[in-house]
Amino acid sequence: MELEELKTMWQKYDRKLDHLEKLNKKLIMKTLSRKPQKKLDWMKYQNIYGIIMTPIVLVVALHSHFKIENVDAKFIIGCLLVLTVIIYITYYFFKGFMALKGINISHDSIIESARKVNNFKSIFIRRHKFTFISYSFFCVGVLLIAWKGFYFNTEKIITIILFFFAVLYYGYKRGEIYLTRIENLENEILELNEYEN
């Protein structure tokens, strides 16, 4: 009889221990998933911000050139180039936001969350491939819009060329840094795998 009671007590404590272990893993998972979830929320915010602010900043920056006397072939081509780049960037910001919106670390499995982050990464890589082209179109478009406002001399031409290459370098480097952040986020999510039930 004592042996049976001992077995029953052992099984009872074993179930409690299993329950505590599951609870402990759940708490650890919840705590550790906060950091990647904050990063995901920040990336979502950046995509929404990009969708809204890109056209607003351009209109504010170039509004002084939107005059009837400035409208000519160069101005129209510049507007078309800038508009094309805005549509292209907005499309990828929106696509990225929708991919990020579908990620919820606390509800999805870790593998599923990592797969969704990987999908977002592939969207970003596609956009990043054309950084030089899109930034070049953008710079040429802005130059054509503001063409009548420039008085060209050697110093201005050198400044414009340096600005052009600085913008290209900035766009490419910023993309590389952002890609590293996405990969770090993916690794952080995969590290949570050992705490998943």
In angstroms, the CA 146 to CA 125 distance is 31
Q: And the tokens for 127?
A: 């956009």
pLDDT confidence of residue 163: 86
Find the largest Cα–Cα distance for the chain.
104
pLDDT at 84 over 90: yes
Q: Name the more confident of 62 and 28.
A: 62
Residues belonging to the chain: 197
Mean pLDDT of the chain: 83
In angstroms, the CA 54 to CA 165 distance is 20
pLDDT at 168 over 60: yes
Split at pLDDT 50, 70, 90, the class of 25 is low
The answer to whether the pTM exceeds 0.85 is no
Q: How far is CA 191 from CA 29, 36, 111, 116, 196, in A?
A: 10, 11, 10, 15, 10
pLDDT at 50 over 70: yes
pLDDT above 70 coverage of the chain, percent: 93
In angstroms, the CA 170 to CA 61 distance is 19
Split at pLDDT 50, 70, 90, the class of 8 is confident
Domain ranges of the chain: 1-32, 35-195
pLDDT digits (tens, 9 = 90+) for 174-196: 889 999 999 988 888 887 776 65
